[in-house]
Each structure stands twice: as structure tokens, then as C-alpha cells.
Structure 1
Amino acid sequence: MLEHGGRLLRAARTYGIAPADWLDLSTGISPFAWPVPPIPAAAWARLPDDEDGLVEVAQAYYGAPQLLPVAGSQAAIQTLPLLRSASRVGVIAPGYNEHAHAWRRAGHQVIELAAEELFARVDDVDVVVLIHPNNPGGDRFDLATLLACHARLAARGGWLIVDEAFMDATPNDSLCPHTANEGLIVLRSVGKFFGMAGARAGFICANATLLDAARERLGPWTVSGPARYVLRHALADLAWHAQARTRLQACSACLAQLLTKHDIAPTAGCAFFQWWRSERANDVHRALAAQGILTRLFDRPQSLRFGLPENNAAFERLDAALAQCAR
């Protein structure tokens, strides 16, 4: 299994610091979670019901003509490679490592390239996998570029897969409204924006034929009844969406300013995190961990991803810890 952020209990054992005493900045999950209401007992007692209205609410939120609820983006990432015969697959790098891992494990030929190289070699592959905005590289793409890439792939039966797990703060940049087109697949997650990673829920947005194939592969009841109940309400809470987008953007900008103050100017970032590429990354990661602050360390390339501190006290703690690192 690949490394991911959020391994707080392991860090607590390694550094001898109780879990409750950590400031966990190792994930890109929003610290401003949607307020989950009490869940009715019926949601626990009955099998999940596909006719509960979740699909319609999600279609409205994402602007997607059709979609399929799944157990988070990870379920989609592991399933899509099983729906194609042996293919040549180009995956953005650096990026979320599970994409390349899943395609290789299913027997496909995978190349990992920076975005510019990947677009230049679209005609050399059958599938292109992008993350938009990219995690951790922060790459962003204009709509015309993405649709042109899709057109070249679709003309010969290829796919463009876009992981939009971090798109909710900038919804106008989403490709979801275009996913009726054959060969265009968008993955969405509720974990990051809504702060509900534990719900393990997300969506595949694509044409009906592909969604039917994914549904057959995944089987019934991929998202639990309690999660479906919560999602119906969270995706419909328009006032909260607007407030959360503003708050995330402001918090991310403050984080970038703080890091720059300590000579850790972000290489890239988005509303959910800031990313710093440097040969000093491992040293800074360990120095912060020794003070009970967990970041996400990457080896390829050497870099750190900083998630958002949740309040002023967390910002002050990070500020003091970074000052201590410099000393």
C-alpha cells in the first residue's frame, strides 16, 4: 500500500507525542467541516436506497448530466482500470500516486509525466489521467485545453480522466457539465471540501455506458445509508458552500504568507493546501514533527504539503514552530 497523509497515530508513536497534542496538517482535508446533523435510526437499520434522491441532488451540485455514487474517489480509481483492455496510460506527475499504481496493478502500460509533456504526448497514449487542481503539484488547466485533449483521445476510443477532488472551491473550472461526452470521466469527492473524508463517499461523472459498467463491477450499496443521508443535505446547503469557498481561499492565502515569511515560499498550492518543493523538505518535516506538527512529506520530488490550520491558535503554533526550525 502507498503512503498517504493522515497517519497521525503512527507519528504519535514515532515521536512520543500523544495524538491529541498534534497539529495535523498532513492532509488536504478542509478543517472547516460541514456540520453533520443527527442521523435518523432508519438510515442505519435499512439497506441504502438508490431512490433516496442523492443522485438528483449531486447532479445539481456538480452540474453533471449523470453520475454514480461510489465509496470515495479511491473506489473509482481502483475500478476504472478494470473497465479497459490493456492500454497505454499517461498519468500526471507529481500527483496522487494511487492513479498510476491502480493502472499498473491492472496490467496497463503507464508513463508518468509533467503536465506539459503529457499534453504533448496525447497521441502516444490511450488514456490520460489528470488531477485538477493537481495534488500536490497545484497545476491548473483551462477548459479549452482539457476539451481539446479529450477530443483527440475520444476520436480513437481513448479516455480523459480528471480527478477533481479539490475542485469544489472553484466550481466554474469543473468539467462535470461535459461528462455526457463519451470518453470523458470526472471523479469527485466529498472528503476534502466538506471535511467528511471518513464518510468514504464520492461520485463518478461520465456517460451512461461507462457508469453502467462501473456499477456492475462495484456491485450494490457502495455508499452506506448514513453517508447517503448526510450527503443529500450537505450537497444541497448552498449558503454553506459559498461561505466555505470564501473561507478556504482566505485561509490558504494566509498560509502561503506565513510560509513565505519563514523562507518556505510555496512552489504551488490551491484552496486546500500549499506545496513547497525543496531539498530541505525532509529536515523541515522532521523538525516540525518533533514539535507535534505533522506535514505530508514527498520523496519524488522532495517536497512538503501543508494543509490548512483551522484557527488563529493553529496559525500561531505553526508560526512559532517554523521560527524554531530556523533557529
Structure 2
Amino acid sequence: MTAGRDWTADAEAFTYHGGALDVARRLAPGAPKPWIDLSTGINPHPYPLPEIAPEVWSRLPGSGALAELEAAAAARYGAPAGMVVAGPGSQALIQALARIIPRGAVGVLGPTYGGLKAAFAAAGAQVDEAKRIEDMGDLDVAIVVNPNNPDGRITPRADLLQLHRRLAPRGGVLIVDEAFADFDGESESLAPVLPGKAVVLRSFGKSFGLAGLRLGFAIASPEIVHSLRAALGPWPVSGPAIAIGTRALADLAWTDAMRDRLGAEAARLDGLLKRNGWRILGGTRLFRLAAKADARAAFERLVAAGILARPFADAADWLRFGIPGDESAWRRFAGALAG
């Protein structure tokens, strides 16, 4: 970090979500390059890009191609046919849902990803954070991240269905954000047994390491599907995203191999953190949450070394670490972590 810089000046950029590399570069212009971004929880091993026909770039995407993509997503997630909506990233789908769902009393099981609360608050809702799923039955909209970000907590499917039964008499909507479920806790996914007035969100970019593609999916009951399609408008997904997504979603061998690879790398990351005095609080195969008394100072040392982790505004002793992408990144991270 720049000598003498006040942490609070840029804390919001780093703690709202990961990926604030532009801010980090500005604060540490002399840091070693290339920068290593461990702040996002995006798979560092991207899916190999297939050959894309030239007309995919030059024509508007057709409805048939979009339907094929959504069918591939339905098959991949075990969802009923016709209940999948593709959008330009799961964040865009969250913001669309915040506009179309009657808001009333909104609750988010926390602490968790702040973009959910922010989207509903921006749409005019009063959003509260619940500490226990048992306290969410009297809401109009209940939101659960599963696996949770940042601690990897997995809520059993039975508990989600029980919450839905409590919401149903008042017409409440259950939203489950499964952005990290491709590699962790997929057996607890709500998608294969989706009840009425419920939505499951799945991220493509995080799992396949192609976040710049901007692709995500909502699996929802018919009345929500209709409203969501109308909110997104025509051509919600680009032609290249449709072509790449359709192929990648059907490649189960790649997903299975990647699950094993990331599992080994997450265990390696745990060992490295523990050897340097960090306490592992949880996580998924794509990130680990760890605690240490001097976490904020460690964050600044890492930035000075050209490495960006994810700090938290309400937990000064926490940092979240993604998986380094190659051996060079592992060596640089190990050296910087050791100070």
C-alpha cells in the first residue's frame, strides 16, 4: 500500500465484492506484476474456449440457440424443462428479480454476499439480515446463499423446503443463490425439486472460469419465469456466450475432473494458510475464509506484493482467499504470506 495511506479511503471498494484490481493497482503502482487476484472466488482454470463460427459474432442470437442453451442448463442442474432463464450473469438476474418480485419484508440469511441486500434495497425494499433460517418464515422474500459466501456454510435441502412451506401461506418467495454449488453441496441443490414461488440462481462464469462472458441462470416457477423474461428483454445473452455455455454445460467430464483438481488445491491452500498462523473458518473449493489478528495488515502487505485478497468491513480479522492459478502464483503467494 502507499506509505501512510488511510485504509478507510478505499475500504468500500475492496469489501463490497472482489475484483477491485484497478483500485489495488492505483494504491500500489510499484507492486510486482502480473497481479494475482485471489479476491473473487472465480475458478482460475478456465474452460477451454471452443471454435466459434464467425456468424455468431456478426448476427443477433436466435431464439432457438437461446432455448438450446437453457435446455443444456436444465439438464446440467437437474431442473424441470422450461423453467430456466438465461441472463447476462447472476448479478443481473438478482437485480431483475428485485424489480419484479413484490418486496414487502425481505430477509437475507447472513452474513453473506452483500450484492443481494444491495439489489433489493436499491429497488426500495427494507432488507434485514437473519442469523438463523428458523427466523425467516414470516417474510415476503427470503434469500439464502447455498453454499454460503464467504464461509461455505451449506444449508440442507430439507431445511430450505421447510422454510418454503412456512413462506407459502403468506405467498412468500424463496430465492436460493447457488453460485458456488457446481463444486460443493450440489446434492443439496433446490433446482431438481423446485417448489412454486421459488427461484434458484446459478453462476456460469465462476465455475467455468469465464466471468467476463457474463452468463448466469435462474431456475424458477412459471409465473416468475414469465416476468423475468419480460424484465430482461430481447437478446439477454450474447451469441458467443450462448455457443460457449451450451458446450461447456454438457461437458460433465470436465466438471468432474475440475471438482477433483480444485478439491486438492483447496486442501493445499488450507495447509499454506495454517502454516502461516491463519485459522480456517470455512469455504468452498473455489475460496477459503481464514482469520488472523493482523489480517488487515496482511492484506496491505499482500497488495504491496501484487496480490489481492478479499477483506471484510465488519470482520477486520478475516480475509478470503481464492485459488492461485499456477505454480508461479503459488510461490509468490507463499512468499508474500510469510512476510
Q: TM-score, normalised by structure 2?
A: 0.90
| Contact 2:100/2:228, CA 8 A, preserved across alignment | yes
* AA matched with 1:280: D
- Which residue of the partner structure matches residue 99 of structure 2? 82
- Within the candidate set 277, 289, 314, 2:329 is matched to 314
Aligned to 2:183, the other structure's residue is in SS state coil
| Contact 2:31/2:304, CA 8 A, preserved across alignment | no
Is 1:300 aligned to residue 317 of structure 2? no
* AA matched with 1:75: A
1:9 Cα deviation from its structure 2 partner = 2.6
1:313 Cα deviation from its structure 2 partner = 2.6
| Contact 2:43/2:206, CA 8 A, preserved across alignment | yes
The CA distance in 2 between the partners of 1:311 and 1:137, in whole Å, is 24
How many residues align structurally? Answer: 320
Aligned-residue Cα RMSD (Å) equals 1.6
- Within the candidate set 232, 239, 244, 1:218 is matched to 232
- Within the candidate set 142, 146, 151, 1:132 is matched to 146
Structure 2 residue ranges without an equivalent (≥5): 1-11
Aligned to 2:302, the other structure's residue is in SS state helix
Distance 1:86 1:294, change over 3 A: closer
**Identity %, equivalent residues:** 43
- Within the candidate set 141, 158, 162, 2:176 is matched to 162
- Which residue of the partner structure matches residue 17 of structure 1? 30
Deviations 1:22-65 (A, max 9, x none): 22111100001100122211111111122121111111101111
- Which residue of the partner structure matches residue 213 of structure 2? 199
Aligned to 1:39, the other structure's residue is in SS state coil
- Which residue of the partner structure matches residue 26 of structure 1? 39
* AA matched with 2:328: A
Which range is displaced more, 183-192 or 76-85? Answer: 76-85
The CA distance in 2 between the partners of 1:17 and 1:74, in whole Å, is 33
- Within the candidate set 105, 111, 116, 1:99 is matched to 116
Deviations 1:133-160 (A, max 9, x none): 1111221111111111111112321111
Which range is displaced more, 4-13 or 232-241? Answer: 4-13
The CA distance in 1 between the partners of 2:141 and 2:95, in whole Å, is 15
Distance 1:19 1:43, change over 3 A: farther
* AA matched with 2:320: R
| Contact 1:153/1:159, CA 8 A, preserved across alignment | yes
| Contact 1:269/1:275, CA 8 A, preserved across alignment | yes
The CA distance in 1 between the partners of 2:173 and 2:30, in whole Å, is 46
Distance 1:186 1:19, change over 3 A: farther
- Within the candidate set 211, 235, 253, 1:239 is matched to 253
Q: How does 1:262-273 map to 2 (within 5 A)?
A: 262-273=276-287
1:323 Cα deviation from its structure 2 partner = 1.2
Q: TM-score, normalised by structure 1?
A: 0.94
Deviations 1:221-280 (A, max 9, x none): 111011100001110112111111111111111111110111112211111100124452
1:18 Cα deviation from its structure 2 partner = 6.1
* AA matched with 1:36: L
The CA distance in 2 between the partners of 1:157 and 1:267, in whole Å, is 36
